[in-house]
Structure 1
Amino acid sequence: MTDSAKPRVRAADKRRRLTAAAAQVLHEQGVERTTLADIARAADVPVGNVYYYFKTKDELVRAALSEHSAYLDELTGSLDQLPGPRERLKGLIEAWVGRRDVAARYGCPTGTLAVELDKRADGSLDVEAGAVIRRLLDWAADQFRLLGLPDPDGLAVTLVSAYQGMSLLANALRDPDIMTREGARLLGWLDALEVPDQTR
């Protein structure tokens, strides 16, 4: 690597660390309670450097949403390697349940952020948070569509709203077992969905 390329790599690494820290800290503390200093501390970056990459807290919120979107892409990309749509949907539920302790402590990262941003009078960040959830809905609907089930969009809403509900309850009651129980119920629901007979 040339000497001139090193500062660019270091700058990209700092920005990446700040983005990841923003996603984590905003999830744990919420937008209103989080300061730029909190994010700088979590990223191990001097607070003065934050302003070089992000001029406002809203820009950091946008970066956090981008991080949530990237995580969703990574998750669905790995699930797409599974052999069939039912297995992919089950894998999604198992991933949710696998993060039950985080959900019980802080709720769903994107869902809680969307709700908090919706209560702000300014900006369009709530719409951007909704767009991340919409991507998950679209992916789930594609899986139901591949199964040949009627109303795949409605089934996707049922699935994702069940996840949001169990995350909310697990968080409100600080009970990760809610995620485990409701995840098992969702897996049973998926198994019970009848795929239409295409031979008739």
Structure 2
Amino acid sequence: MTDSKGSRVRTAADKRQRLMTAAAQVVHQQGAERTTIADIARAAGVPVGNVYYYFKTKDDLVAAALSEHARHLETLTAQLELLPDPRERLKGLVEAWVSQRDLAARYGCPTGTLAAELDKRADGGLDAEAGRVIRLLLDWVEGQFRELGQPEPGGLALTLVGAYQGMSLLANALRDPGVMTREGERLIGWLDSLGR
């Protein structure tokens, strides 16, 4: 006998996750201001009327997109943590950024572009949430530099994450994924040169 209540709960959780995934994708591609609830519903394959059961406003969906970016970051860093050496973890992070070069050239960094857009809003609030996601990345990178025994690990983390934001911005502005490839190689060389 099938547990229909359990099945409904799984279906609801699946639908909510599909909406969150779609929100992250559509907001990255279109920006928060241009994205409508209907755009996200269509991308998720969910009727527009059902969206309101899970998310009451478009801002709730933008917050869900940020949560999805944080989840992706946590998944990536958990995979990188399987590498035994912090230098290799950092290089793996750079390689992951470079592997997304075509997306970056078309749309920029998912979190960085959204943070810049949200910061321009008069109402505020979500910009701090975008900053929280970027802070997760900075903290993880800082921990890797600390484990390497580098002086000023926080400053090195800002340098690395800032380089990523810069290269994704330039790749997007120039519509040139090669910027990510070239700068990624430069960053890996820099990481290899630190404290050997």
The TM-score range, normalised by the shorter chain, is over 0.9
Q: CA deviation at 1:123?
A: 3.1
Quote the Cα distance in structure 2 between the aligned partners of 1:193 and 1:4. Answer: 56
The alignment status of 1:35 with 2:2, answered yes or no, reads: no
Structure 1 counterpart of 2:183, which letter? E
Quote the Cα distance in structure 1 between the aligned partners of 2:125 and 2:66. Answer: 12
Query: Structure 1: which 5+ runs fail to align?
Result: 196-200
2:138 is matched with which residue? Answer: 137
Give deviations 1:146-176, integer Å, cap 9, x for gaps: 0101000000000000000000000000000
2:6 is matched with which residue? Answer: 5
2:159 is matched with which residue? Answer: 158
Give deviations 1:7-51, integer Å, cap 9, x for gaps: 111111110100000000000000110000000000000011111
RMSD: 0.7
Quote the Cα distance in structure 1 between the aligned partners of 2:13 and 2:194. Answer: 46
Aligned counterparts, 1:8-157, within 5 A: 8-157=9-158
Quote the Cα distance in structure 2 between the aligned partners of 1:133 and 1:189. Answer: 22
Q: How many residues align?
A: 195
Give deviations 1:159-195, integer Å, cap 9, x for gaps: 0000000000000000000000000000011111115
1:168 is matched with which residue? Answer: 169
**Which runs of 4 or more aligned residues in structure 1 lie more than 3 Å from their structure 2 counterparts after TM superposition?**
none
Structure 2 counterpart of 1:21, which letter? A
SS across alignment from 2:176: coil
Q: CA deviation at 1:5?
A: 1.5
SS across alignment from 2:4: coil
Quote the Cα distance in structure 1 between the aligned partners of 2:12 and 2:139. Answer: 34
Quote the Cα distance in structure 1 between the aligned partners of 2:70 and 2:4. Answer: 33
What TM-score does the superposition give when structure 2 sets the normalisation length?
Answer: 0.98
Quote the Cα distance in structure 1 between the aligned partners of 2:7 and 2:150. Answer: 52
What TM-score does the superposition give when structure 1 sets the normalisation length?
Answer: 0.96
Quote the Cα distance in structure 1 between the aligned partners of 2:151 and 2:20. Answer: 39
